[in-house]
Amino acid sequence: MKKYIPILLLSSIVLFHACSKSDGDIPQPPEPQPPEQEEMILPKKQMRATWMATVWGLDWPQGDYNVTSQKQQYLAYLDKFVQLNMNAVFVQIKGMGDAFYNSPYEPWSANISGTRGQNPGYDVLKFMIDEAHARNIEFHAWINPFRIATRASNASPYPPLHSSIPANWVVSHEKWQTYNPAVPEARQRLADIVKDIITKYNVDGIHMDDYFYPDPSAAGQMVSDAGDYATYGAGIATIEDFRRSNVDKAIKGVHDIIVATKPEVVFSISPTSDFAYNRNTLYADIKKWATEGWMDVVIPQIYHNSSFASRLNEWDIFNNKPHLMIGHGYYLMTSTSELTNQFTLTKNKKAVVGNLLYSAKYLNENPSLTAKLAELFAHPAVIPFLGRSVAPDAAVPQNVRIENGVLKWNTSGAVKSVVYYAADLKTESRVMTITNATQFNAGLSGHYAVTTLNADNKESAVSAIVTK
């Protein structure tokens, strides 16, 4: 049976409860939320670099031993790189058991002074690094680990060894003279050389090319290493495994000395594009080095257009460990379409974080190709984080604003700033500048955002977007 409460009494009860509640208990309407800000779509990071070969003066200094003019020649290269929005250069500073700096282990290169062992009269390596850094270009020191000298035949003598190199560390084949990778002291000398470079000079990276054990087709009659195998190869099944083991130890030694001495330095290796040739002829076990984490970047030399796509697919197995860049044979390219095709293929590979061109002088010798390169590199690019984290993380820029047509922002710490611009937030933005300043003339109507980069190339999150 239903019970009924008189209407007057019910009204009194409701009124009593309403008056007894505190204001805080009264449900409040939800605060209006600002619309979610669209994100800036950032372009892919990319190292854009060239090799600068110095053996026989190929790219630099090209037989010019005058200090003033060889400096001018180098600066002209750097200015060219700036025009092309390139952001790194790999300069050969140890190509033939010699040095482009004052080394306690190897003589001055004849290719900088004209005479092996002769001081050219200035600190060549410091000059090259400082001038590159002044233009926001990274400097990677390219070394050949074992080669000391080459010759046409036995009829020509090899140059005298540096006084610090015992003869039993060296093997002299018919056409190649090298440090002997089998000798532990010779491998240690390589690590000592790297330590000397990164301790004395502010290089961004140490780089090796594809010369490890020499290819017999280039070295001519080879000196047998059966005696080395007998002396040092206990427990190793075959002489081929022994050779690979020797190179493994050399690579690990360089990696370990970098990590122990200056871990922010990036270690990169540029093998040939053929895994089997690397492993079975040069005794460079690239896949093992990748698995062991002994290199930060691998840069296969995929030079021939006919096999470029298939070779690229083979190397796509590497993704961040190590980072993958691609070495292009710029000197071999015969058309702008070839260049465009190779760069399109690498851009579409998520794992590829950079492009390295061989070599610097061909940027001047093929104007039509370089004009196309300028189109491909129309805007600056951010170098990806490639090595070990040492510097403090970069903080997000604050107080990003536009005042009288000028984009301004605040940063903290030792950082560079990256300005991104997009006409439409539905499309990919582009890098307008990478700068030490904290303002930029916002000449275009559209959307702007800023990030910061620390010394390791680690990028902050994106700032608030401002619109002009």
- Give SS3 for 464: coil
pLDDT at 374: 98
pLDDT tens string 417-464: 999 999 999 999 999 999 999 999 999 999 999 999 999 999 999 999
User: Across residues 51-70, what is the average pLDDT?
Assistant: 98
Predicted confidence (pLDDT) at residue 20 exceeds the cutoff of 60: no
What sections of 201-348 are H helices per DSSP?
216-219, 226-232, 239-261, 275-280, 286-292, 308-315, 336-347
Share above pLDDT 70 across residues of the chain, in percent, rounded to a whole number:
92
pLDDT at 19: 43
Beta strands in 29-95 (DSSP E): 47-52, 88-94
User: Across residues 200-224, what is the average pLDDT?
Assistant: 97
pLDDT at 320: 82
CB 323 within 8 A of CB 355: no
Superfamily in which the 47-376 domain is placed by CATH: Glycosidases (3.20.20.80)
Mean predicted lDDT score pLDDT of the chain? 93
Predicted confidence (pLDDT) at residue 12 exceeds the cutoff of 50: no
pLDDT at 313: 96
Whole-angstrom CA distances from 260 to 68, 254, 264 are 37, 10, 10
pLDDT at 38: 81
pLDDT at 15: 39
pLDDT at 251: 98
Ranges of each domain in the chain: 47-376, 398-467
- Among 379, 395, 390, 372, which residue's Cα sits nearest to residue 432? 379
What's the rounded Cα separation, in Å, for the pair 100 and 56? 13
CB 264 within 8 A of CB 456: yes
User: Across residues 72-89, what is the average pLDDT?
Assistant: 98
Per-residue confidence band for 345, with pLDDT thresholds at 50, 70 and 90: very high
Superfamily in which the 398-467 domain is placed by CATH: Immunoglobulins (2.60.40.10)
Predicted confidence (pLDDT) at residue 7 exceeds the cutoff of 60: no
pLDDT tens string 112-165: 999 999 999 999 999 999 999 999 999 999 999 999 999 999 999 999 999 999
Per-residue confidence band for 24, with pLDDT thresholds at 50, 70 and 90: very low
3-state secondary structure 401-437: EEECCEEEEECCCCCEEEEEEECCCCCCCEEEEEECC
pLDDT tens string 226-243: 999 999 999 999 999 999
Strand 205-208 and strand 266-269: the pairing is parallel
Per-residue confidence band for 378, with pLDDT thresholds at 50, 70 and 90: very high
